[in-house]
Amino acid sequence: MRLFRWETLKVLRDWKVRILLAALILFVATYSTLYQNRSVELPIEETRAQYTDTQDLFRAIPQEHFETETGQDIYDRLARQQSILGMQRYILSEKEGNTVEGLEEIVSDYVDQGIEMAENQLYFHAADDFESQELLLTFMPSEIEINNRLKFLNYLKENDVAIDWNPMSPSLVLYTLVNIIAGVFIYIIAAIFGADRFSRDQENNWSITQGLPYTWKFQWRQRTFISWVLIWMTLIIGILISYFVSRLSTDTGTLMYPVQLYDGESAVYISILQYVVMTLLLAMALSYVIIKLSTGLSWVFRNIYLTITIVVAIFFIPYIFTIISPLGSWNPFLYIQLLPMLEGEWADIGNVNIVKMLIAIALFYILIEILFHFIFKLIPTRTGRLERRKN
Amino acid sequence: MPLEIKDLTISYGNHVVLESINFSIPDGNIIGLVAPNGTGKTTLFNAIIRFIPINKGEIRVDGQAYKNTTKDVRALHEKITFFPDQAELYENFSGYEHIEMYRDIWKGGKGDIDAIVDRLNMAGYVGDKVNSYSLGMRQRLCFAMMMAADTKIMFMDEIMNGLDPVNVELVSRILQEVKQEGKIIIVASHLLENLDDYADQIYFLNNKDIYYTYDRKDAQENFIKGNIGPEHYQSIDTLPEGTLYLNRQRICIPTKTLTDADKLKLMNRLQEGGSESVTIGPLGTYEHYLRIYKGVES
């Protein structure tokens, strides 16, 4: 603790750090305002497009194809789809929730209707004896998408959550913001923060810091921890400000709203709150390792640009596996990026999951510890008159 | 012996800087370390504190050997502090914070900073940021940091740089006081005559080794000392045996065989020869420096 206070003060007195923290909080805290100025497609517009598609299907499919028993069934279901879409358009336009007060008997419930629509769509996929099935399916989502939609609607039903007519609701903005932070953003921030934690001391304050009665490894760990705490304190404050600012302007949505998460090969739906907490915890764990590496490299290179470049380049390693095989879900480099795993981009590989990601992060932590154990022993630093001691 | 250096050898590549250095310093001693630039003073400090690898030798403090292991180096740094370079202070920290930092790190927060500040007459500026300090103020701050760390062994490299005569005297006095607490202080300085004010022994580095040790406690023969040019030196006849003429400027005449009348006569001759001051006393660090590094005419 006797060194911790001074290391923290050194970081906080650094103008570059102050500017970075200010910029970070400004970006994150105002994200909801920026996001709400974007033009996005509202769910009601999507429903309107689907309504038109269904209408076009009636025109495109030859009338005689509807004359078989299956054809008649499909005709009835398509008609029902169109009726449902019309009512869903109305429900969304009223912005009251899953139904419209006073008209429950007429417009029914958005979720129940959605489940019925999804079941109809699955029926279309199964109707192999329908002559225009191929044409019909070009207007339909894939079976995987329909099953995911069913999971989504069932989640709404089981948890009594209303459909959100507004894609800019505070909870959905929060979801988007957390996804941005968990991507390359956290790599860049971690790289910048760690990149001169040692180089500044070595270049400007060497005679003060070289003789401290603490090992370099101890100082490295402490500096990593300080940067990590500062980054995440700023990010969490920024996220909270962003969320509450967006709640001031919009009161729709709920943190219990479902979002998709890939667990291994299949999608599950969890609440935005669960997703945000889980993603932030994973990003925190991953960022600790990145800051550790960046801080360590600043000892080796004493060059901020080189350190940032190397650390950010590591982020792109998983893209290699879109070209060559990763040789299984245990490849730790698959987990260098958080979002592809959560979004199911590695679903084809099979069983890429959060537990394996945590194991991969622990493995990277140990590898970096071992690497820098030798680096602090062997690599001379601070070029100039004297060679550094070798431990 | 609290600080013992045995057979210490340092080289950079094939270039041997220090070879087979041996010395031991008991508690409560100030050692002056003297040598021209580039002779290895700072290297010797860096080697003892293990900032640089040593090729051969042993470093012992209080009888315990400190090897080149992480554990030993860390333990060694608990016992030894190195005088900071005034250009490497944290510009956006105050002087007080620098002193507090060293106290916290080495003494775990124990120690009276205000007493150090008062002792060094720093109260007027110690609360300001270091970027507003003059060279002398910075130098005093570095000294104050060493006082706050209060380690058993202190290495003071070029401690008097940038200090005015009043502060040179102040720091010299404090060094003597600190020595009374049992500290071992090694001072590398180019203010040679000032070293005679506080150092117990002077180590002269030459030819990769401690070439000569001048112990000020030993009984010293007195000399008449002055500065004269070569033409006047040649004109003085009947100089006693053992007279030294150093760097074609400094003359030191042993008084052992001289009568009082002879002494007076010779002192007058030196004054006539252009010496602004003529003194009687033992050979000091300055004379030994000239003798060792500039050569002697006898």
Contact A213 B70 (CB under 8 A): no
- In this structure, what CATH number is given to the domain that contains residue B27? 3.40.50.300
B82 and A211: CB-CB below 8 Å? yes
B118 and B31 fall within a common domain: yes
Tokens 């041997």 belong to which residue? B16
Express as a percent the part of chain A with pLDDT over 90.
Answer: 49
Q: Do residue A18 and residue A139 come from a single domain? A: no
Q: Which of B77, B85, B88 sits opposite A213 (nearest CB)?
A: B77
Are A77 and A195 members of one domain? Answer: no
One domain, residues A70 and A129: yes
Give the whole-angstrom CA distance, residue B177 versus residue B167: 15
CB contact set of A322 (below 8 Å; sequence gap of 6+) = none
Is A18 touching B (CB cutoff 8 A)? no
Residues B142 and B290 occupy one common structural domain: no
Q: What's residue A86's pLDDT? A: 87
Indicate yes or no: CB of A205 within 8 angstroms of CB of B90: yes
Residues B7 and B71 in one domain: yes
Question: Are B243 and B124 found together in one domain?
Answer: no
Give the domain-ending residue among A94, A123, A158: A158
Residue A367 lies in a domain: yes
Q: What percent of chain B clears pLDDT 70, i.e. is strictly above it?
A: 99
pLDDT in tens, A75-133: 999 999 888 888 888 888 888 777 777 777 777 788 888 999 999 999 999 999 888 89
* Rounded Cα gap, residues A339 and A210, in angstroms: 41
Please compute Rg for chain A using Cα positions.
27
What is residue B278's predicted lDDT score, i.e. its pLDDT? 92
pLDDT in tens, B90-107: 999 999 999 999 999 999
B13 CB within 8 Å of a chain A CB: no
Residues B177 and B139 in one domain: yes
Q: Within this chain, do residues B211 and B226 fall inside the same structural domain, yes or no?
A: no
Q: Report CB contact under 8 Å: B77, A211.
A: yes
Asked if B50 reaches chain A (Cβ–Cβ under 8 Å), the answer is yes
In eight-state DSSP terms, residue B106 is H
DSSP-assigned beta bridge partners for residue B23: B5
Q: Give me the number of domains chain A comprises.
A: 2
| Predicted TM-score of the model (pTM) | 0.85
Complex prediction ipTM: 0.85
| Last residue in a domain, options B183, B215, B247 | B215
Q: Are residues A136 and A242 in the same domain?
A: no
Domain assignment present for residue A57? The answer is yes
> What pLDDT does residue A380 have?
58
Domain identity same for B194 and B265: no
Q: Are B238 and B260 members of one domain?
A: yes
Distance from B146 to chain A by nearest Cα, in Å? 11
Any domain includes A389:
no
* Higher-scoring residue by pLDDT: B217, B121: B121
Together in a domain, A81 and A104: yes
Asked if the Cβ–Cβ distance from A389 to B52 is below 8 Å, we say: yes
Residue A389 has pLDDT above 70, yes or no: no
Domain identity same for B185 and B275 = no
Q: Give me the mean pLDDT over the A185-190 stretch.
A: 95
- Inter-residue contact A178 to A239 (CB < 8 Å): yes
Question: Taking all residues of chain A, what is their mean pLDDT, rounded to a whole number?
Answer: 88
Same-domain pairing of A63 and A204: no
Q: What is the pLDDT of residues A20-70, one digit of tens each?
A: 999 999 999 998 877 766 666 667 787 888 888 888 888 888 888 888 999
Query: Can you give the residue range of the structural domain that contains B230?
Result: 222-297
Residue ending a domain, choose from B215, B243, B275: B215
**In 3-state terms, what secondary structure has residue B253?**
strand
Residues B126, B256, single domain; the answer is: no
Nearest to A208 among B77, B84, B104 (CB): B84
Over residues A302-353, the pLDDT tens digits come to 889 999 999 999 999 999 998 898 888 889 999 999 999 888 888 778 788 8
- pLDDT per residue as tens digits for the range A271-309: 999 999 999 999 999 999 999 999 999 988 888 999 999
Chain A residues 81-100 within an 8 A CB cutoff of chain B: none
Q: Are residues A310 and A374 in the same domain?
A: yes
Q: Which residue of A has its CA nearest to B81?
A: A211
pLDDT mean over B83-94: 94
Asked whether residue A374 falls in the same domain as residue A310, the answer is yes
Is B14 in a helix, a strand, or coil?
A: coil
Residue of A nearest to B151 (CA): A213
CB < 8 Å to A214, chain B: 74, 77, 105
- Cβ-defined contact of B105 to A212 (cutoff 8 Å): yes
- Whether residue A142 sits in one domain with residue A92: yes
Where helices occur in B88-191 by DSSP H, the ranges are 95-107, 113-119, 135-149, 165-180
Of A235-249, A254-268, B6-20, B198-212, the range with the lowest mean pLDDT is A254-268
Cα dihedral across residues A141, A143, A148, A153: positive or negative:
positive
- A386 inside domain: no
A151-179, pLDDT tens digit by residue?
999 999 999 888 877 778 889 899 999 99
Other beta carbons within 10 Å of A226: 21
Examine the domain organization and report whether A69 and A173 are in the same domain: no
Residue A247 lies in a domain: yes
pLDDT at A252 over 80: no
Interface test with A, best of B37, B48, B51 (most A CBs within 10 A): B51
pLDDT at B128: 97
Q: How many residues does chain B have?
A: 298
Q: Tell me the pLDDT tens digit for each residue of A218-236.
A: 999 999 999 999 999 999 9
A47 falls within a domain: yes
Asked if residue A73 and residue A34 are part of one domain, the reply reads no
Q: How far apart are CA B242 and CA B244, in angstroms?
A: 6
User: What is the pLDDT at residue A378?
Assistant: 77
Determine the pLDDT at residue A385: 43
Rounded distance between C-alpha atoms, residue B18 and residue B15, angstroms: 9
Judged against a pLDDT cut of 70, whether residue B264 lies above it is answered with yes
The whole-angstrom distance between residue B290's C-alpha and the CA centroid of its chain comes to 16
3-state secondary structure chain A: CCCHHHHHHHHHCCHHHHHHHHHHHHHHHCHHHHHHCCCCCCHHHHHHHHHHHHHHHHHHCCHHHHHCHHHHHHHHHHHHHHHHHHHHHHHHHHCCCCCCCCCHHHHCCHHHHHHHHHHHHHHHHHCCCCCCHHHHHHCCCCHHHHHHHHHHHHHHHHCCCCCCCCCCCHHHHHHHHHHHHHHHHHHHHHHHHHCCCCHHHHHHCHHHHCCCCCCHHHHHHHHHHHHHHHHHHHHHHHHHHHHHHHHHHCCCCCCCCEEEEEECCEEEEEEHHHHHHHHHHHHHHHHHHHHHHHHHHHHHHCCHHHHHHHHHHHHCHHHHHHCCCCCCCCCHHHHHCCHHHHCCCCCCCCCCCHHHHHHHHHHHHHHHHHHHHHHHHHCCCCCCCCCCCCC
Name the pairing type of β-strands B184-188 and B153-157: parallel
Residue ending a domain, choose from B159, B184, B215: B215
**Domain's final residue, options A117, A133, A158:** A158
Structure confidence at residue A198 (pLDDT): 87
pLDDT at residue A103, as a whole number: 76
Cα R_g (chain B), whole angstroms: 22
Output the furthest CA–CA distance in chain A (Å, rounded).
94
d(CA B124, CA A301): 41
Structural domain span for residue A71: 43-158
Domain boundary among A158, A191, A215: A158
B133 shares its domain with B239: no
Give the confidence band of B239 by pLDDT, cuts at 50, 70, 90: confident
Q: Are residues A125 and A185 in the same domain?
A: no
pLDDT, one tens digit per residue, over A10-21 is 999 999 999 999
Please indicate whether, in this complex, the C-beta atoms of B85 and A207 are within 8 angstroms of each other.
Answer: yes
Name the residue among A350, A351, A332, A358 with its Cα closest to residue A278.
Answer: A358
* Residue B89 near residue B130, CB atoms below 8 Å: yes
Quick one: B71 and B146 in the same domain? yes
CB contact A384 to B (< 8 Å): no
- Identify whether the C-beta of residue A256 lies closer than 8 Å to the C-beta of residue A269: no
Residue of A nearest to B82 (CA): A211
Domain count, chain B: 2
